[in-house]
Structure 1
Amino acid sequence: MPSIVGPLKINSVGGGTVNFGDAFYIAPKSSGKTNAGSGSLNTGDFICTNNLVSTTNPFDPDVNDQPIAGNA
């Protein structure tokens, strides 16, 4: 089915997928994982983060989180 796309504004695309209209399939081409502790990924002005004790367990028992094999 054809689609009509109205007004649109995209300021930035950093490695993502932008799709307009119909698509047969959309599959990821890359994947990543970030381990971060409490208050480590805050952004903005004048941030005050008080963490008495913060630990991050990066152990991941499963093998694949987002398999990308076969997505050509």
Structure 2
Amino acid sequence: MPAKVGAVKVLTLSSSSIFNIGDVYNMSPHASAKTFAGGGSFNTGDGIRVRLNRANTFINDSEVFDQSVVNND
């Protein structure tokens, strides 16, 4: 059922967001990300002490594409 919409102000849209005004059948945003993290990463809380002596993160990623996001219409 159509609706009348007044003024709309969009401040920001992220890369995987959808903005729609009006009738829609299906909306499905797709996004992909790959994260590499070493020792001491992703720690949250108060008073955390992390002591890493000579900590290294080695990445051996031989794949060009892990999983492609296609047909994102």
Provide the TM-score with structure 1 as the length reference: 0.50
Structure number with larger C-alpha Rg: 2
Provide the TM-score with structure 2 as the length reference: 0.49
Of structures 1 and 2, the one scoring higher in RCO (CA 8 A, sep 6+) is 1
